[in-house]
Chains A and B, each alone.
Chain A
């Protein structure tokens, strides 16, 4: 076995998010995934052992491995999104590890924004709780394609199948009201290792794969939008050298669909049309450019294109509008102010906008609409209407996570104060 052979150079990358609080065993689960996949090194383990002894803990506290900031270790809590990495012979994984309490909704939203999969942890002793609702709602709001529900601490419930089935049933009932594309259930004990990496001998009634099996095999080929060809222009490459005197390349990352040489394209917002002459990265000519590839496109005609424009295939146009309805998560201590001007970033375009109206807020625990209190403060999720100074070229978020997302920036502090999903 060699890590330099073709198989290892040709692995898939899966990004997943975990949300959880101190008590539900999230750190133990991550610790086990890292430990059992041999991603924890001796010096890291040594440091954690030393710190555990110093704090007077009876056992090796794997949470110390994941809590990176001094204040987090002191307080024993996770307050920010931490990214962790491990690999198995089949896939490479990036975990966005986030805190689970309601006051960290914005961190969960952040972690979920780039994930292919979400692990929802349920304590088998408590069943489906308000926290389960919240985590599931956030995962579906951010359109994470795959949801893996881990029913944890099965060891404390005598590995009883009825406990598992009953929790699965109540989760399924609750999830009918939201749109989940792919959902799986796994009974586990993170502490004892049942069904995390190795199949459990204590639960012979379950045989649909361990968590690691699922993470390694969940099909992620179609997680991107391959339908709607979208190429936000990020940077115009003009070498202006003797050798490449007339070269004019449009650099960017494919946000959706598949582009090929010869495709008829339209540049928005100008509406000018041309054909793709070539797609390159360095010297290599690329046959099919698809998400999330970063490439450089050259066109047959010399037309005026700059950063913030979007190249799309002429037979499938996105929406263009200045009045847009979005689902927004508020990220800042200072509440949203109606009528206030904000900077807005969407794909590679920057405009200004005002928030015209808050239609309703959403209770993240019950998913109920709140219409009697429209103050949008830190961690609020709300449906709002914005008006932009220039038209945005977009798709709805459920069609395309890249052309359907945007952020609002405070003009005075430059902080990212709100994040939105169109539609």
Chain B
């Protein structure tokens, strides 16, 4: 390889930093959506690199479903302290209490869909004009067509058939009052890239990603963690297993993986060998073939 050639991780890093800086330059009130998952952790790391030695020129926003793993909240608070960043929390519980959102009923009840209401409310309350997130195009087929700069109308909706063309590295963030953008700086990363980059940069990760013992139960072929708000059906039984999380979201829809991977290297090898996509364990995507596209149109992240 020629001396003046970046490897794939550095090229992706450089592209993402360019996009993040472009957001800070083009928008007045950007925000970074932080979920506590690996993608938003990498995104935050890239943002730190983009503006160093200055602090992040935007706050982090966490949409808290109230159904989070405690480890996620601890990690979040610690990271915010290290970065000396500003954290804003949008609470789904509060949206429910205020009557803006209605809790789902039944065994598969999840607050995943309700997050959209809280997110759009928070965006409006703080007048954010660009919300950056860690979504990747390889995650899901509707996302494969999403732009880096994705325009949202005044209702927060996405119109997949009327997206702005995006060429070279020129990003058009122009909008009218009340509209906003979702921006996806790590669009071109795969799950493997994310883990390899975490290893390369030695980024500290929440313990949930590494193997541990946890009480879980199996539903429709997916292992889920038990929690006080999770109702078990008669044929389901809670048991302690050796697991790790491959993605981290709300407890109600985060499928866990039976795994003994204890280091970044072991996680990477496990992903290389696996034959199921990471969203294969996400109960929220299984609702229909176009589940993600439908949620995205409504303003889901």
Contacts and interface: CB of A to CB of B under 8 A. Distances in A.
B165 A41 contact: no
B277 A43 contact: yes
Given A43-B276, A51-B289, A82-B144, A4 B164 contact: no
Interface stretch (B66-74, B134-142, B243-251): B134-142
Most buried by A among B138, B166, B170, B199: B170
A212 to B, nearest CB: 17
B167 A109 contact: yes
B276 A41 contact: yes
Interface residues of A, number: 85
B193 interface: yes
A409 B14 contact: no
Given A221-B2, A237-B54, A3 B168 contact: no
A396 to B, nearest CB: 15
A404 to B, nearest CB: 9
A69 B50 contact: no
B6 interface: yes
Given A113-B168, A402-B168, A11 B8 contact: yes
A362 interface: no
B149 to A, nearest CB: 10
B1 A221 contact: yes
A405 B192 CA distance: 32
Contacts of B94: none
A4 B4 contact: no
Given A68-B141, A69-B160, A83 B1 contact: no
A292 B161 contact: no
A87 B192 contact: yes
Most buried by B among A51, A114, A222: A114
B18 A294 contact: yes
B168 A409 contact: no
B100 interface: no
B5 A419 contact: no
Contacts of B175: 414
Nearest to B196: A9
A288 B51 CA distance: 20
Given A3-B268, A79-B161, A405-B170, A85 B138 contact: yes
Contact of A3 (B166, B271, B289): B271
A41 B280 contact: yes
A217 interface: no
A282 B202 CA distance: 14
- Counting chain B residues whose Cβ lies within 8 A of the other chain, the interface size class is 35 or more
B21 interface: yes
Nearest to B172: A416
Contacts of A401: 168
Interface in B242-301: 264-265, 268-269, 271-272, 274-277, 280, 289-290, 293
A239 B54 contact: yes
Nearest to B200: A9
Interface string A268-307: 0000000000001111000010101110100000000001
A221 to B, nearest CB: 4
B153 to A, nearest CB: 12
Given A4-B265, A42-B276, A92-B193, A292 B14 contact: yes
Nearest to B197: A9
A292 B6 contact: yes
A114 B165 contact: no
Nearest to A87: B192
Interface string B118-155: 00000000000000000001100111110000000000
A110 interface: yes
Most buried by A among B138, B164, B168, B289: B168
Those 8 A-B pairs whose CB atoms lie nearest each other, nearest first: A68-B141, A221-B2, A239-B54, A13-B8, A113-B167, A43-B280, A294-B17, A414-B174
Given A3-B192, A11-B8, A92-B190, 18 more contacts: A2-B265, A2-B269, A9-B200, A13-B7, A44-B277, A67-B141, A68-B141, A69-B161, A69-B293, A84-B138, A84-B144, A235-B51, A240-B54, A241-B55, A281-B17, A282-B52, A348-B22, A414-B172
